Amino acid sequence: MDRKRITVFDFNEEDCVRTAYAISEYYGQRGVLTTIVRFSDLQSFAYDFKCNMDAGTLYEMVFVGVDSMMGLEAARNIRELSEYWPLFFVSNVYDFGLEAFRLCALDYLIKPAVPSSIGRAVQRIGMQCMPGSGIASNEIASRMRIS
């Protein structure tokens, strides 16, 4: 059985753990195996991304904690690493909705993320737009191994 490879990035380690737990619960309830890797600093994430890209084992989706300008900058940096990744904002504020839209985030979840909100969010995969274009593209889903 295939595993879903998911990453969670949040400067707040406690929120990072909570989001990862909600993702694990959602997929666990459906009998789907997951590998969830958590990051609380951007350098480690970027290094891991490069190693996985070289090995051809990229993540299927990225959840980013965006509670401050630092979180927003991290989301921008993550989007620069790959414009095709399904990206989800997870925040305790509503202030970054416009930026989520500009970065083609698939959803904007309010913390703490719960399995039901994770489920609604991941159902949007395949409706992702190309950053800067505002155009939805099913081609993105075909470029990634998403099931």
pLDDT digits 0-9 by tens, 13-30: 999 999 999 999 999 999
With residues binned 3-state (H G I as helix, E B as strand, rest as coil), the percentages for the chain, rounded to 5, are 45, 20, 35
pTM > 0.85: yes or no? no
Q: CA of 116: how far to CAs of 11, 29, 33, 48, in Å? A: 23, 11, 17, 29
Q: What is the pLDDT of residue 82?
A: 80
The SS3 assignment for 33 reads strand
Going by pLDDT thresholds of 50, 70 and 90, the confidence category of residue 147 is: very low
Q: Could you tell me which residues come within 8 angstroms of residue 11 by beta carbon, excluding any fewer than 6 positions away?
A: 40, 41, 65, 67, 68, 70, 71, 74
If one compares 85 and 12, the residue with the highest pLDDT of the two is 12
Residue 60 has pLDDT above 70, yes or no: yes
Residue type, 109: L
- In the chain, what percentage of residues exceed pLDDT 70? 84
Contact of 108 with 100, CB cutoff 8 Å: yes
CATH number of 3-143: 3.40.50.2300
Q: What is the pLDDT of residue 59?
A: 85
Identify the top-confidence range among 77-81, 119-123, 140-144: 119-123
| Chain segment 61-118, per-residue pLDDT in tens | 999 999 999 999 989 988 888 888 899 999 999 999 999 999 999 999 999 999 999 9
Domain boundaries, the chain: 3-143
